[in-house]
């Protein structure tokens, strides 16, 4: 067993994400906004967890802290056994390159690059060999059903196709955790449904863990569990789909549902 395999085996029993008493306050003085307050929950490995709550409830703030785009004001977050909240800016950039991938509501593609070039971008940043990169790009475009559209730029693709490019790009470096922030928010109902089904399938196929914020009942239904925020606090989730997902309750009871 290599050192890396040993480390993976040790981590296998731990949650992929652990959020402990996290708060995020923006601004100062009378301008202060408490986006998150004392939030705690775990995301077990290999699960798809939906993060729900009204606009302004703190979903984006929470996902940004977990993925290392932002830092909480208080509390501790670990991702794949690494304490994200203790990392330097540079190491958080490394985390986003190697461990975590984001999918955003607005797709976030580079307009000047083709679909294939967008998908290959994370591998360029990691200096993957050209031949390996080209092969993986072809596989990923095939996975999301866009082989025919590989040379088109984002502006020449529909919203659903753009989001599929973004999903393929997110998978490029084989992240362990996929974070998607309202990935179907800009899509019509049917396209959103198709993108959700794709997300669920690729997550399962790649053995990944995913945390996906959504307003979409369809996504809540396919998720293994749901975490609900209201005004920056976790609230108990009485969703029946939650039952029987191997969840465990930890932390103090006022913090609500722990996945």
Ligand X SMILES: Nc1ncnc2c1ncn2[C@@H]1O[C@H](COP(=O)(O)OP(=O)(O)O)[C@@H](O)[C@H]1O
Q: Which residues have C-beta within 8 Å of that of residue 180, sequence separation ≥ 6?
A: 102, 103, 104, 170, 199, 210, 211, 212, 213
Q: Is 106 in the site for ligand X (CB under 6 A)?
A: no
Give the interface segment with ligand X, choosing from 5-13, 52-60, 198-206, 248-256 (CB under 6 A): 52-60
Residues 248 and 258: beta-carbon distance below 8 Å? yes
Please tell me what DSSP assigns to residue 67. T
The Cα-based distances of 218 to 184, 214, 228, 238, 240 in angstroms read 10, 9, 15, 17, 14
Q: Which is nearer to ligand X, 57 or 128 (CB)?
A: 57
Minimum CB distance to Mg ion, residue 41 (Å): 18
- Cβ atoms of 194 and 171 within 8 Å: the answer is no
Residues 6+ apart with CB under 8 A from 211: 17, 43, 49, 51, 63, 66, 177, 178, 179, 180
Residues 7-66 that bind Mg ion (CB under 5 A): 59-60
We find the least distance from the C-beta atom of residue 251 to Mg ion, in angstroms, to be 24
The least distance separating ligand X from the CB of residue 40, rounded to whole angstroms, comes to: 17
Binding partner of residue 61 among ligand X, Mg ion, none, CB under 5 to 8 Å per kind? ligand X
Find the binding residues for ligand X in span 187-216 (CB under 6 A): none
In the complex, minimum distance from the CB of residue 27 to ligand X, in angstroms, rounded to a whole number:
5
Smallest gap from Cβ 181 to Mg ion, in A, equals 6
In the complex with Mg ion, which residue's Cβ is closer, 60 or 99?
Answer: 60
Is 76 or 215 the residue whose CB approaches ligand X more closely?
Answer: 215
Number of residues that bind ligand X (CB under 6 A): 12
Q: Which does 162 bind (CB under 5 to 8 A by kind): ligand X, Mg ion, none?
A: none
- SS3 state of residue 76: strand
Closest CA relative to residue 101, chosen from 30, 190, 171, 35: 171
Nearer to ligand X, 37 or 117 (CB): 37
Burial level of 11, CB count in 10 A (0-12/13-18/19+)? middle
Partner whose footprint covers residue 233, from ligand X, Mg ion, none (CB < 5 to 8 Å by kind): none
Site for ligand X in 53-72 (CB under 6 A): 53, 55-61
Residue closer to Mg ion (CB basis): 53 or 75: 53
Decide: 165 and 144 in contact? Cβ < 8 Å.
yes
150 class by beta-carbon count within 10 Å (0-12 exposed, 13-18 middle, 19+ buried): middle
Least separation in angstroms between CB 63 and ligand X = 8
Q: How far is the CB of 178 from ligand X (least distance, A)?
A: 17
Q: Measured between alpha carbons, how far is 37 from 113 in angstroms, rounded to an integer? A: 40
Q: Which residues bind ligand X (CB under 6 A)?
A: 26-27, 33, 35, 53, 55-61
Q: Which residues bind Mg ion (CB under 5 A)?
A: 59-60
């Amino acid at each position: 067993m290599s050192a890396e395999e040993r480390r993976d085996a040790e981590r296998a029993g731990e949650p992929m994400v652990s959020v402990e008493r996290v708060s995020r306050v923006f601004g100062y003085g009378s301008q202060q906004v408490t986006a998150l307050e004392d939030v705690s929950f775990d995301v077990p490995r290999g699960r798809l967890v939906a993060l729900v709550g009204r606009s302004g409830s703190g979903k984006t703030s929470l996902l940004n802290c977990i993925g290392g785009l932002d830092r909480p004001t208080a509390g501790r977050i670990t991702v794949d056994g690494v304490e994200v909240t203790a990392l330097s800016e540079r190491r958080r950039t490394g985390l986003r390159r190697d461990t975590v991938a984001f999918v955003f509501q607005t797709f976030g593609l580079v307009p000047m690059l083709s679909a294939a070039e967008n998908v290959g971008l994370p591998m360029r940043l990691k200096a993957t060999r050209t031949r390996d990169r080209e092969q993986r790009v072809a596989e990923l475009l095939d996975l999301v059903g866009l082989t025919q559209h590989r040379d088109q730029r984002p502006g020449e693709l529909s919203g659903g196709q753009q989001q599929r490019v973004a999903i393929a790009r997110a998978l490029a470096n084989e992240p362990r955790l996929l974070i998607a922030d309202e990935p179907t928010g800009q899509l019509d109902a049917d396209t959103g449904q198709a993108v959700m089904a794709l997300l669920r399938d690729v997550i399962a196929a790649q053995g990944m863990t995913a945390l996906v914020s959504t307003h979409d009942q369809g996504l809540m239904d396919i998720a293994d569990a749901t975490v609900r925020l209201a005004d920056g606090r976790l609230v108990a989730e009485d969703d029946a789909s939650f039952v029987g997902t191997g969840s465990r309750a930890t932390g103090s009871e006022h913090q609500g549902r722990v996945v």
